[in-house]
Amino acid sequence: MALSHFVSMLPIKRVAIFGGTHGNEMSGVYLVKQWLKNETEIQRAGLEVRPVISNPRAVEKCTRYIDSDLNRLFGSEYLSAQETDSMPYEVRRAQELNHMFGPKGSEGAFDLILDLHNTTSNMGGTFIIGDSRDDFLLQMIHYVKNALAPTVCSVLLNDHPDLKYAPTRSIAKHPLGIEVGPQPQGVLRYDILDKMKKIVTHAMDFVQLFNEGREFPPCSVDAYKVIEAVDYPRCVDGDIAAAVHPRLQDQDWQPLKPGDPIFAGFDGRTIAYQGENTVYPTFVNEAAYYEKHQAFFNTIKVQIAARPIHVFQT
């Protein structure tokens, strides 16, 4: 392909790897702790790589957060809030992280943040992106997926205007969430930790190859695009009235057809999916989402094209 057809990008110079954005998601916590002691696995020539415990007080207490969910606090209203004695701990921490790795949206922000998460849902390894136009991230995901094959790594695209949020990783020019499960909160499973470690190390290999001048031709990535969040059926007092149906439990990324059961009511009633088209649920029965009134997300399959990229040599 003619060189002029490639999108030229500046080299990646600074990378942060966040673990413990949620303090009870243990794979990222322990990988970052390991890398803070010995960075050999993640360091690459010519790169500044910073492993970070992003919510240290929540990690210390092995809880998702102290006052509020850190992974929802990187919108301008929180990052620009005036500090007060009553400011929630995570809002203050969001401002600290933005100062250290941003400011968000500036030329001085870190190039790449890999934000490591665990889910209690049966999602396997999952990349989470909020922008289908980030050629660098899409090329990275394509590279890592091929490197991990035949192990499957799914891609979740959340650009839904009502469900999209400003996560911790959004400080960076290229923000990537890495979600691996199933793993209970506060529990460490070696197979899940090892899968996460392989994803990160392959991602760092991609960054090094890109910086060294490898050209990446156009590619496409299969993804699941969020279309809605589904809440549990509820009683008049707001309490849940049903659980995820056994036929849906652990079936993340599997097709859900109209009429298929989704909830089993405590009164013995089965509640079926009433949509008109086949969808693909994910984050099914995620423990952390009970407080968010979300039983699962419905997604549709999409294919995202990435333009060819190469590094701009200064």
Establish whether 90 is a catalytic residue.
no
Out of 107, 179, 215, 291, pick the active-site residue: 179
According to DSSP, the β-strands at 14-19 and 7-9 are unpaired
**What backbone torsions phi and psi does residue 216 show, to the nearest 5 degrees?**
-115, 115
Catalytically active residues, by annotation = 179
